Structure 1
Amino acid sequence: MPIVDRHLSVPGVAPGLRYAHAVTTTGQLAFVSGQVALSEDGALVGDGDVRAQTERALRNLGNVLTALGATWSDVVRFNWYLLDVSRIQDVRDARDAVLGDAPTPASTLIQVAGLFRPGFLVEVDAVVALPD
């Protein structure tokens, strides 16, 4: 039985740019804490570079998925926090490179005044449908 049941694009709602309007699941969910551009030793990766920071945050998220026994196809929702929404294309490009052909999850992007540490430009958290 599939864990991620359906990815919906709803008629009457403007189409999403590589995100689903809704995703349904079966089984358990995991809620992954926000990931930022920190290396294994806690150093900032990609100082001043939104795409590099997004790639690193997604790499960290990918490591969490692996620990959960999940893949990118099991991600049902992203929440993005971005200091400068005009840099959304950098986030999209990094996301698309990582997701490849995986189904697009539901997604929200919020412009924020700041993140928990100076230098961070983007943060992403996720909801994941866990395999049995």
Structure 2
Amino acid sequence: MSVNEPSSSTRRDVIKTALVGSATLAAPVAAATSDRASRNFRLYDPDKLPPSTGFSQVAEITRGKLLYIAGQVPRNAAGDLVGKGDFRAQLEQVFINLGIAAADAGASFADIVKLNYYCVASIEPTQQRAVVEVRDRYVNTQSPPVSTFVFVSRLVHPDWLVEIEAVAVLPS
């Protein structure tokens, strides 16, 4: 690291501050679809597939570079678990972490084309609605990312209830 580069913790604070003050985390993204995203990919549902609810079935990448974001878990910047036993609180932290990871690469939720959800099977079906409610505050609900939702017996840490990974498209 050069003398002029901020430390990773300072850089992380700058990114968090930028995210919290931006539409990425503070307001719905549905109306904030970026022009960049619309030029780099197309999200849609083919007519001959069953109708989807809350996700697109195809993400066609027309140009740009792919950004893969590793599975994010409900830990804050200090590494502490957020929301032990609280599914909604854990979802919130995971989406915050996804936003931070995307922003660090120059992306936003408008650039995300794919979300993979891994949820522990012990989550009650009534709590699954929280996934849509939290996610819809971050993604463009008019053209949502393609997604896969998988129930697993457990995640790496026994207190984690959800892990989400993402793929975004950036200009090349």
What TM-score do the two structures reach when normalised by structure 1?
A: 0.91
Check whether the contact 1:72–1:102 (CA below 8 A) recurs between aligned residues: no
Which residue in 1 is equivalent to 2:112? 75
Check whether the contact 1:51–1:93 (CA below 8 A) recurs between aligned residues: no
Bigger Cα Rg: 2
Check whether the contact 2:139–2:145 (CA below 8 A) recurs between aligned residues: no
Letter in 1 for 2:98: L
> Paired residues, what number?
131
State percent identity of aligned pairs.
32
After TM superposition, list the pairs within 5 Å mapping 1:113-124 onto structure 2. 113-124=153-164
Structure 2 residue 43 is the aligned partner of structure 1 residue 3: no
Q: CA deviation at 1:11?
A: 1.6
What TM-score do the two structures reach when normalised by structure 2?
A: 0.71
SS at match of 1:127: strand
- Extract unaligned runs of 5+ from structure 1: none
Measure the CA separation in 1 of the matches of 2:139 and 2:46.
22
The counterpart of 1:53, out of the listed 80, 85, 90, is 90
Measure the CA separation in 2 of the matches of 1:123 and 1:129.
21
Q: CA deviation at 1:88?
A: 2.0
After TM superposition, list the pairs within 5 Å mapping 1:1-132 onto structure 2. 2-4=39-41, 6-25=42-61, 26-84=63-121, 86=125, 87-99=127-139, 103-132=143-172
What is the CA RMSD across the aligned residues, in angstroms?
Answer: 1.6
More strand by share: 1
